[in-house]
């Protein structure tokens, strides 16, 4: 059983939600739940990739936090043009390790 969340929105947003619900053949509550789910998922991915870019977490940790596979988070990073925090020093260290 879910929890009830109540919020007040302006008339313009309410009208848009109603238009979308009608176009999709859904009720208002279903549309709002879908938007909340999509919005929170998008926020979590964005925040996780920001933390990855800042070097706070690994890409594996970002994927795990978001409930995505490594390949899915890599795709998200590509689409969002996330900078990979890989320094020249790390490259040199990796090259030395190969010798």
- The tokens for 61 are 């940790």
pLDDT at 97: 81
Per-residue pLDDT of 59-71, as tens digits, reads 889 999 999 998 9
pTM for the full predicted model: 0.78
How many whole angstroms separate alpha carbon 85 and alpha carbon 93?
15
What are the residue boundaries of the structural domains of the chain, listed by start?
11-98
pLDDT lower than 50: segments of the chain: none
How many whole angstroms separate alpha carbon 58 and alpha carbon 73?
11
Question: 77: Cβ–Cβ under 8 A, 6 or more apart, which residues?
Answer: 49, 52, 59, 84
Reading phi first (left if > 0) and then psi (alpha if -120 to 50, else beta), residue 6 is in beta
């Amino acid at each position: 059983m879910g929890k009830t969340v109540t919020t007040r929105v302006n008339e313009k947003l309410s009208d848009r939600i109603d238009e979308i619900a009608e176009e999709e053949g859904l009720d208002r509550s279903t549309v709002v739940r879908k938007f909340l789910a999509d919005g929170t998922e998008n926020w979590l991915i964005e925040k996780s990739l920001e933390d990855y870019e800042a070097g706070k977490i690994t890409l594996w940790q970002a994927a795990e936090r978001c409930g995505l596979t490594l390949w899915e988070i890599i795709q998200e990073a590509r689409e969002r043009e996330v900078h990979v925090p890989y320094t020249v020093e790390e490259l040199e260290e990796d090259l030395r390790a190969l010798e």
